[in-house]
Amino acid sequence: MVEKISGEEFTRADGVAEWRVLESGQVGTTFRTGSFDRGVALVVRIGELADAADHHPDVDLRYPSVTVRLSTHEVDGLSERDVALAREITAAAAELGIEAEPSGPVVE
């Protein structure tokens, strides 16, 4: 069973400093890819991670960024599944040399 966590609990978790709690009840961040090709590579990696976790984010690919939003539908909010996937996405971006810009626009 998946348990709901608060936005504060998400924010206090290790490895998610690049993510922001949104008014919609989701969390999100924007990765500045610098090119469309690097954005596609990040989206492919996010897809692999999401399928492996059976937890699928909203992903918006635009030049020159990728915006990602997470929430857990089963609890209509956030859960530890979001924490885990946010960490994995951040690590994948870092492996590709892509940094998050949490102060950048996160489309609601």
CATH class of 4-100: alpha beta
Give the pLDDT of residue 23.
Answer: 87
- Asked if 11 and 21 touch (Cβ cutoff 8 Å), the reply is yes
**Location of structure tokens 């608060």:** 6
Residue range 22-60, pLDDT digits in tens = 988 999 999 999 999 999 999 999 999 999 999 999 999
Question: Rounded to whole angstroms, how far apart are CA atoms 20 and 7?
Answer: 9
**Tokens of residue 88, six digits:** 């994995």
Give the pLDDT of residue 81.
Answer: 98
Spell out the domain ranges in the chain. 4-100
Task: Report the predicted TM-score, pTM, of the whole model to 2 decimal places.
Answer: 0.93
Helix H or strand E encompassing 78: strand 78-79
